[in-house]
Amino acid sequence: MVESMRSAASAEPARAIAFQGAPGANSHRAAQEYAPDCLPLPCHSFADAIDAVKDGHAGCAMIPIENSQAGRVADIHFLLPESGLSIVGEYFLPIQHALMAVPGAKGPFNSAYSHPHALAQSRVFLRERGMAPIGFADTAGAAAHVAETGDASIASISPAMAADLYGLDIVEHNVEDAADNMTRFVVLAPEPLPADSLNGQTPVTTFIFEVKNIPAALYKAMGGFATNGVNMTKLESYQKGASFSATMFYADIMGAPGDPAVDRAMEELAFHSKDVRILGTYAQSRPRG
């Protein structure tokens, strides 16, 4: 299945969207919903999906960045700045997982395999049924593992499409604990979007920065957004390296460079920062607030 998808993508790389995981993963579903005519290209890791774009094997990559229940996806804040790619879009995917097992198996099951984020999103469901959560590389790969073992005492928590792909039975639908469970994906491409491509759309700009190591530096750096009326919808900190001496910040704002208010706010941010890097400006796909 993977080789067939890779072959199709290699024939038309411009149409290919690289994603991390096995066929049937949530990232696969997100890619198909975002661009129904795309050629999904499964990759082993997030870094591999990014490299597929950098090497010209795919036109873009679909990368999950945060989940409403489990928080941000590990390593993404480190991978994005180093990738050299630009964010050109976003997509919000409602997460709907199913419990699936080999044909005929009805449970009870000893354990459930899935990606750690999916397990965290079904924590209450698993605890109530006494099922041990076992982490796997991705949700669809967990379904493939259950199918390969043929073990009726185990199950996977995976997207429903994985059951069709791997010949499993769905034992129970919608096993996620929260009905409003949502994952935000970003679309990465080799070049940023042209400024005029967002005419008539609400722009979002994502950037990272490191403030100077002086008292109140973050407070002063943020002041320009308040005084210029620029709405910051996301601000997260993460450590740079292992020394714990430098903190990086990841931020989303509503607006785009070229807007006088955004330019003034970014200029003030740069004055109080050691480094500022814009990762992309793209159209908002879901209203904030």
Domain assignments of the chain as residue spans, ordered by start: 2-95+182-189, 97-172, 195-283
Is there a shared CATH topology between the 97-172 domain and the 195-283 domain? no
The span from the CA of 273 to the CA of 269, in Å, is 6
> pTM for the complete prediction?
0.90
Q: Which two tokens stand for residue 110?
A: 């000893």
What pLDDT, on a 0 to 100 scale, did the predictor assign at position 91? 97
Asked whether 38 and 16 are in contact (CB, 8 A), the reply is yes
Query: Which H/E stretch holds residue 122?
Result: none
CATH topology of domain 97-172: D-Maltodextrin-Binding Protein; domain 2 (3.40.190)
Tens of pLDDT along the chain (289 residues) come to 999 999 999 999 999 999 999 999 999 999 999 999 999 999 999 999 999 999 999 999 999 999 887 778 867 778 888 899 999 999 999 999 999 999 999 999 999 999 998 999 899 999 999 999 999 988 999 999 999 999 999 999 999 999 999 999 999 999 999 888 899 999 999 999 998 899 889 999 999 999 988 889 999 999 999 999 999 999 999 887 666 666 889 999 999 999 999 999 999 999 999 999 999 999 999 998 7
Strand partners, 276: 209
The span from the CA of 57 to the CA of 50, in Å, is 10
What pLDDT, on a 0 to 100 scale, did the predictor assign at position 109? 97
Q: Which CATH number fits domain 2-95+182-189: 3.40.50.10490, 3.40.50.620, 3.40.50.300, 3.40.190.10?
A: 3.40.190.10
What pLDDT, on a 0 to 100 scale, did the predictor assign at position 254? 97
CATH topology of domain 195-283: Alpha-Beta Plaits (3.30.70)
Q: Which residues contact 242 (CB under 8 A, 6 or more apart)?
A: none
What pLDDT, on a 0 to 100 scale, did the predictor assign at position 181? 86
Omega into 108 within 30° of 0, i.e. cis? yes
Tokens 């208010």 locate to 261
Q: Which residues contact 280 (CB under 8 A, 6 or more apart)?
A: 86, 87, 88, 186, 192, 193, 205, 206
Residue 167 is given by DSSP the state T
Strand partners, 275: 210
The span from the CA of 126 to the CA of 133, in Å, is 7
What pLDDT, on a 0 to 100 scale, did the predictor assign at position 112? 98
Active-site residue list: 183, 185
Residue 85 is given by DSSP the state -
What pLDDT, on a 0 to 100 scale, did the predictor assign at position 242? 66
Q: Which residues contact 214 (CB under 8 A, 6 or more apart)?
A: none
What pLDDT, on a 0 to 100 scale, did the predictor assign at position 74? 66
Query: Which H/E stretch holds residue 231?
Result: none
User: Which of 53, 19, 47, 21 is closest to 35 using CA atoms?
Assistant: 19
Chain centre distance of CA 220: 30
What pLDDT, on a 0 to 100 scale, did the predictor assign at position 77? 78
Q: Which two tokens stand for residue 56?
A: 């010209």
